[in-house]
Amino acid sequence: MKGLGEMERKVKFATKCVHAAEKPDPVFGAHTTPIFQTSTFIFENVSQGTARFAGEEAGYVYARIPPNTPTHAVLAEKFAELEGGETGQTFASGMAAITAIALTSLRQGDHLISTDVVYGCTYSLFSQVLPGLGIEVSFVDTSETENVRQAFRPETKMVFLESPANPTLTVCDITEIAGMAKENGALCVVDNTFSTPYFQRPLELGADLSLSSCTKYIGGHADLLGGIAAGSKDFMNRMSSIVGYTGGIMGPHEAWLCIRGLKTLHIRMERHAENAMKIAEFLESRPEVEWVRYPGLPSHPQHELASKQMSGFSGMLSFEIKGGIEAGRKLMDNVKLCSLAVSLGATDTLIQHPASMTHACVPCSVRRSVGITDGLVRLSVGIEASEDIIADLEQALEAI
Ligand code: LCS
């Protein structure tokens, strides 16, 4: 592979997954991107070191400081190509990405509007840490665009959307809300972890930044922690000092694993979504099941919107068993093929209970008011044979 050069912007998504940002190693011609397992870089002379630190010469200086290492740079460029952004930045985790974005965009006295249903630690960061820095946060049901319009204040500097949201799979209109953010001079940031750029590209819908936890579908194999964001060069330049000062940096081996993960993203996501649709339909047909939320089901409250802004519905769904948490607990204790574990986007199917696990840090009254019921069970559908996942859920349902 010689590098796509000019072709890079034109080729299809699947080709970008495989080829984007990959260049032949100039020293030995290695076919895959090498892991640059180094903390520092040697300067040719003092002038060069001075120019690199001053940002007057492009290049590497120290692995904590963007662009980190050539391995990180390939991953950032590949992800930016997939999201349709100018450039990207990698992080130690999804939470490190959200933290750096928030610290870059918000100051004391500023206001943030956030989707009310977000991953538990995102909720805690926004509700506990940011207010301590003098930043006010409004949690809003962003599935009703009018709520967002009403939440804007002169001090609003950022709108943070998670769509589909963890764990209720609620969807919001990214195009409309990004437009409102622009009118109000606020940055629109989308946590795209559940969809990945394969199914949804927030930057093309008007958002300023799209971020993902690489721990999920980007890495894809439940063997790493990482985070990544794509957006404008201007924002990434502004964020680079926060990244360097806070130091939530991805390791080079993780960056390499993410590059490898992205090469099969398109194939994995197709299978995750195909399986999830079959399992959502199976669960919806079962008398033991109270309700199922999957953006691909016509019964999903924002199914039409999801069909418009996503090209597929990914692999996440939630449901509740009749009999609430006690029945749900029996189901989760009785599955054999599915793993009882948090995280998502693994090759195998993961089942978990948000109220006591991923969203246990969200106060009970808040959880209930936003639809994270005590009986809600979340499934991250894997890429096994769907018949086997269904058979496992069926035997667990019968054991209730
Ligand atoms: N954004 C979303 C939508 C997430 O689901 C998570 C983690 C994060 C950000 C943070 O990413 P991390 O720092 O873990 O790389 N979600 C998890 C979950 O649902 N179970 O365990 C972690």
pLDDT tens by residue, 236-271: 999 999 999 999 999 999 999 999 999 999 999 999
CA 42 / ligand 1 centre spacing (Å): 36
Q: How far apart are CA 390 and CA 160, in angstroms?
A: 35
Q: In this predicted model, what pLDDT tens digit does every residue of 269-304 receive, in sequence order?
A: 999 999 999 999 999 999 999 999 999 999 999 999
Q: In this predicted model, what pLDDT tens digit does every residue of 27-58 receive, in sequence order?
A: 999 999 999 999 999 999 999 999 999 999 99
- The H or E element spanning position 3 is none
- Quickly state the pLDDT bin for 9 (edges 50, 70, 90): low
Q: Catalytic annotation on 110? A: no
Q: Is the pLDDT of residue 14 over 80?
A: yes
Q: Catalytic annotation on 119? A: yes
Closest atom of ligand 1 relative to the 95 alpha carbon:
13
Edge to edge, the sheet with strand 227-231 lists 87-91, 227-231, 209-213, 187-191, 156-162, 111-115, 136-140
Q: Is the pLDDT of residue 2 over 60?
A: no
Nearest protein Cα to ligand 1, atom 22: 343
What single-letter amino acid sits at 310?
A: M
Q: What percent of the chain has pLDDT over 90?
A: 96
60, 119, 123, 294: the active-site residue: 119
- Quickly state the pLDDT bin for 4 (edges 50, 70, 90): low
191, 201, 263, 268: the active-site residue: 191
**Pocket lined around ligand 1, Cβ cut-off 6 Å:** 93-95, 119, 122, 162, 166, 191, 193-194, 213, 215, 225, 227, 342-344, 358
Q: Catalytic annotation on 216? A: yes
52, 78, 201, 216: the active-site residue: 216
Q: Is the pLDDT of residue 142 over 80?
A: yes
Q: Is the pLDDT of residue 149 over 60?
A: yes
- From 114, 199, 216, 353, the mutation candidate for ligand 1 (largest count of ligand atoms within 8 A of CB) is 216
Query: If you ran DSSP here, which 8-state letter would residue 249 be given?
Result: P
Give the domains, in start order, of the chain with CATH numbers: 15-262 (3.40.640.10), 265-398 (3.90.1150.10)
Of 184, 233, 198, 164, nearest in space to 311 by CA: 198
Q: How far apart are CA 192 and CA 329, in angstroms?
A: 29
pLDDT at 183: 98
User: And the tokens for 253?
Assistant: 């081996």
Q: In this predicted model, what pLDDT tens digit does every residue of 153-179 receive, in sequence order?
A: 999 999 999 999 999 999 999 999 999
- From 160, 163, 166, the mutation candidate for ligand 1 (largest count of ligand atoms within 8 A of CB) is 166
